[in-house]
Structure 1
């Protein structure tokens, strides 16, 4: 088994602002309507680009949507019917007070990916569960990775606001596991208060081989541990820099500004 640890300091995020954003996103989503296959804002508002209802009732369990990243190509593509080269999203659960669950599936010539996401208590987000399975349809078992991740937001806020010197939480608020034919990996992320209201975030990655292939994986980790450690730390540093840049670029927008930006992003 190989273990890699790294700690970074990042700007903190205001919990009240985050939860207000969650309610705003829900309000905006639930203000949309289905008009045939099109999704529009309000009863007769502008069309939401890049998304089309294929089946079921809008925002109800069983509703299926097709999503494209290029709205300019969407109209011509949809005229020929659904394509396996785009993302299909299915609503599994939509109860604002308890949970929202969706499943996404993407297929192309070289990739089949499934992503299942469930957000508990969306009105005031409590936990986010994500399951994933990614494989190359032209490859064998070595071309497949699957796993799960869970972010306990209640535990995250508690750890981020803990008193100096207090013990870390028994379980990391953010934990992810990935499985491959050659081995398994586990990633944990735990925050704690830092100076000037920032967060000090500890990230740990553990990697181990599986069953009969464990000696092969162990040998690969032995010779590749130094570059893997460098790549791990570099990746964590880049993620922290991106987070800090995003929060430092401008003051957090107020609700009205955020609503306007969200509407523009959906319709432009």
Structure 2
């Protein structure tokens, strides 16, 4: 087993802005409607590739199909990959308590399931995700499963805690992945610093599984230094991207709503699918 840790300084995100963005996105989604031709936004713009096939719109039991646009085929070349298809089921939709959505993805490259749950959406307190993906070709190395949880209430409490406060026993953001060759776990912690800055600690733990543990342990021993450098570099790059994005200033709600609406009607839905 190997454990890597790195701490970076990032620009703090305004909690009120974040929660307003979450509510705004839900407002846009809840203003949509469906008809036999597909899904439409409040002003009548069509949402590409989305169709309600069972149940009532945005109610528990509703099921949708989301289909990507066909890949363009260049003259003289073989046809591109067939469109990816995703089935989306609404397990729960209550703004006051929780929203739970399950996605089943089928494409030429990957099939699998992703389940998402947002607790207390009007003021998000936790986001949970479970996934299980595999290649249609099968094989030992072609499947992965994982789980992630962001305890947003604990994150904000830690980010706003007075100096000297002891850290929580459990990291507010965690993710675990399982693969036939091994396991990996990531944990994020946060504490406030001066000048509107967060100190974010990132911990990565990796280990081999079953029969691959001895060779995995040897590989980790031989490559520990380059792995540590790569890990630190990746965390630093993510922090730099975050700081650059927030350094441009947060858009006001009206502009953000327009950007979100534009993204919904112009992006290929399969581009956002896992894999």
> Deviation at 1:70?
4.7
Q: Which runs of 5+ in 2 are unaligned?
A: 73-81, 267-275
- Inter-partner Cα distance in structure 1 for 2:259 and 2:181: 44
The aligned counterpart of 1:255 is 253
> Deviation at 1:118?
0.4
The aligned counterpart of 1:77 is none
**8 Å Cα contact 2:69/2:83 also seen in 1:** no
Q: Superposition RMSD on alpha carbons, in Å?
A: 2.0
> Deviation at 1:84?
6.8
TM-score (norm 2): 0.86
Q: Mark the CA change 1:256 to 1:107 in structure 2 (over 3 Å): closer, same or farther.
A: same
- Inter-partner Cα distance in structure 2 for 1:19 and 1:71: 36
The total of aligned residue pairs comes to: 257
**CA deviation map 1:188-218 (0-9, x unaligned):** 0011112211111000001122233321221
The aligned counterpart of 2:272 is none
The aligned counterpart of 1:160 is 159
More helix per residue: 1 or 2? 1
- Inter-partner Cα distance in structure 2 for 1:50 and 1:240: 34
SS at match of 2:61: coil
- Inter-partner Cα distance in structure 2 for 1:161 and 1:134: 37
SS at match of 2:195: helix
The aligned counterpart of 2:137 is 138
> Deviation at 1:89?
1.9
> Deviation at 1:241?
1.5
The aligned counterpart of 1:58 is 57
The aligned counterpart of 1:12 is 12
The aligned counterpart of 2:23 is 23
SS at match of 2:166: coil
**CA deviation map 1:9-30 (0-9, x unaligned):** 1111111111111111111111
**CA deviation map 1:40-81 (0-9, x unaligned):** 123x622223422233221122222233455998xxxxxxxx
**CA deviation map 1:74-99 (0-9, x unaligned):** xxxxxxxxx77233222111111111
TM-score (norm 1): 0.88
Listed as ranges, the matches of 1:239-254 within 5 Å are 239-249=238-248, 251-254=249-252
Q: Mark the CA change 1:113 to 1:230 in structure 2 (over 3 Å): closer, same or farther.
A: farther
**8 Å Cα contact 1:186/1:206 also seen in 2:** yes
> Deviation at 1:157?
0.3
